[in-house]
Amino acid sequence: MSNLFSNLLAMSIAGSVVVGLMLLLRPVTAKIFPAKWQYGIGKMAIAFFLLPVSLIVGKVSFVLPKTITPRHPSGTPPMAIPEALQPNGFVDAVDTLMEKHLPAAMEKHLSLEVMGAVLLIWFVGAMVFAGWHFYCYRRFSKRLLENSIPIPEDTAAALLSSRKAALGVHGDVKLMLNHKITSPMLVGLRHPMILLPASSISETDLKLVLTHELMHLKRKDLWVKVLALIAGTLHWFNPFVHVLRKDVSIWGELSCDEALASEMSHEERKHYGEAILNALDNHSGMNTAFYSPLCESKKHIKRRLIRMLNVKKTKKSIMVLSVAAILAIGGTGLILAASSTGNDINNVIDASSTGNDIDNVINVSADKQNDSNIDVKYLWPVTGRNRITAAYGNHMHPVKKEMVFHNGIDIPAPEGTPVLNADKGTVAEIGDNETDGNYVILNHGGGIQTFYSKLFGFAEGLAEGDTVQQGDVIGYVGSTGVATGPHLHFRLIIDGEYTDPTSAFASEDWSDDWVRRPGD
């Protein structure tokens, strides 16, 4: 549930940033960049509203921390860290700071009930928005079908065939007459159809009309409008997406004019402008999300004609500048999308001083009961570091951002801190994997095993089959595998089943402050 909410929010923020930058730069870009560039930025904004780009960035930041972490094979000890240089004071300062600000931080996190209510409101709003537009589309389609008749095989049909061949448009395109409209339009996604008004149109004007509508079909402009409508449905609460829908419609027409006018002489452009003026109509308030008209309304006609008459070949310097602007705007959207979900690299690195997602840790009762079948005799594995940041049980994973079962406890400590054997036993396995990083498994007899992972390295000479005494150093704290910072991940396994490790220690060995409560 929280994943859906955070990803939707990230998509909305990223799309809004792109639209905001597009509008902010419009006074400059509209003068130097072609209409095709403006239309392209609009399509990029639609992609940001529809695609969870934050997940892509999150995957990158998920990998990077692991690739920069030193790993030491068995038998190679890590570099010794003098006690005076270990950042104990800094960690303690962070602990104090977080303790003071923890209540405020927790207030920022929505409860499951509030999150559910927010998602319900969003879902109802999206359904109402989608339902209304579906109703409008059905009514629109019915009106068109009731009042449209096929055009007989005459000059218009032959002209349509020749214009399709000239533009490289393939597939069947119907040509229909409709006595309820006064301006030509293109409708239909899977079965495109060009509707012509019942009034007579000269052959020259008809050629321009068909070329214009077929250009829309070739560029799949109707699909762009549908995607903009889907974005509006998902982000109905965001005013930027509705501004974008209108903007895409306007610049779609301008860029279509630009594409056609670039191949015309000045006289042909003037005639094309006259054809647009002759087709002026508001289509009785029809929703232009469902069709592409030759001319939508009088509001933008002046700018449309001026831009069409002054179309010039784009210079190479302008093309380079336009590409740079697209990359800058798109990059800004990606960065903010990543930061809005908390998966950016800086957040991962900044969390290393605590070893886990501190904002999620809260106090639990100190009256922890020993519910296992072993004696409370185990030695705490990290001397002087008795704080637990992630307890045994279900909680929100700090990297994956989803509810998972935590089969052990996490004990944060500076990288290189010695890890001690909890009880006498035999080394059953030494290895590493993508999730746990460097790990050691010890057998203690009676079906009991202890598991130590995220290690920076292993104790020198440690090998499988060795007998180790309680308190022996077996490795060093690290952040290998999937981790947001240096810590020891410790598990207790009895008869093949995971058990709460705190049940094996005396209550005074570990602190119940800052423990993440199961279910958080």
Distance of CA 191 to the CA centre of its chain: 33
The larger pLDDT score, comparing residue 246 to residue 55, is at 246
For position 228, what pLDDT does the model report?
A: 93
pLDDT tier at 337, thresholds 50, 70, 90: low
Tens digits of residue pLDDT in 129-155: 999 988 888 888 888 878 888 777 677
* CB-based contact 136:287 (threshold 8 Å): yes
For the chain, the domains span 2-63+318-351, 70-109+354-509, 124-312
Determine the Cα–Cα distance for residues 133 and 144; give it in Å rounded to an integer.
16
The larger pLDDT score, comparing residue 294 to residue 381, is at 381
For position 11, what pLDDT does the model report?
A: 87
Q: What angle do CA 357, 360, 361 make, to 5 degrees?
A: 95
**Residue 108 clears pLDDT 50, i.e. is over it:** no
Determine the Cα–Cα distance for residues 154 and 158; give it in Å rounded to an integer.
6
**Residue 32 clears pLDDT 80, i.e. is over it:** yes
For position 465, what pLDDT does the model report?
A: 93
Tens digits of residue pLDDT in 154-201: 777 788 888 888 888 888 888 888 887 777 888 888 888 888 887 777
Q: Full-prediction pTM beyond 0.75?
A: no
Tens digits of residue pLDDT in 61-91: 444 443 333 444 444 444 444 444 344 444 4
Sign of CA dihedral 325, 330, 336, 338: negative
**Residue 432 clears pLDDT 90, i.e. is over it:** yes
Of 102-116, 467-481, 502-516, where does the model show the most confidence?
467-481
The larger pLDDT score, comparing residue 51 to residue 54, is at 51
Q: What is the mean pLDDT of residues 241-256?
A: 88
Determine the Cα–Cα distance for residues 138 and 135; give it in Å rounded to an integer.
5
Find the distance separating the first CA and the last CA of the chain, reported in whole Å: 13
Q: What is the mean pLDDT of residues 195-213?
A: 81
Q: What is the DSSP track for 358-378?
A: GGG-----S-----SSS-S-P
pLDDT tier at 278, thresholds 50, 70, 90: low
Q: Check: CATH 3.30.2010.10 for 124-312? A: yes
In the numeric block, which tokens belong to residue 44?
């990029």
The region of weakest confidence among 65-69, 453-457, 461-465 is 65-69
For position 357, what pLDDT does the model report?
A: 38
Mean pLDDT of the chain: 74
Strands in 198-246 per DSSP E: none
| CATH placement of domain 70-109+354-509 | 2.70.70.10
* CB-based contact 421:383 (threshold 8 Å): no
**Residue 458 clears pLDDT 80, i.e. is over it:** yes
pLDDT tier at 420, thresholds 50, 70, 90: very high
The larger pLDDT score, comparing residue 352 to residue 317, is at 317
Q: How far is CA 373 from CA 381, 409, 497, in A?
A: 20, 19, 12
The larger pLDDT score, comparing residue 285 to residue 30, is at 30
Of 66-80, 127-141, 400-414, 446-460, where does the model show the most confidence?
446-460
- 186's CB contacts (< 8 A; 6+ apart) are 192, 193, 194, 195, 213, 216, 217, 222, 291, 292, 293
In the numeric block, which tokens belong to residue 37?
């560039």
Q: How many CA atoms lie within 13 A of 307 on its CB side?
A: 23
Q: What is the DSSP track for 440-478?
A: EEEE-STTEEEEEEEEEEE-TT--TT-EE-TT-EEEEEB
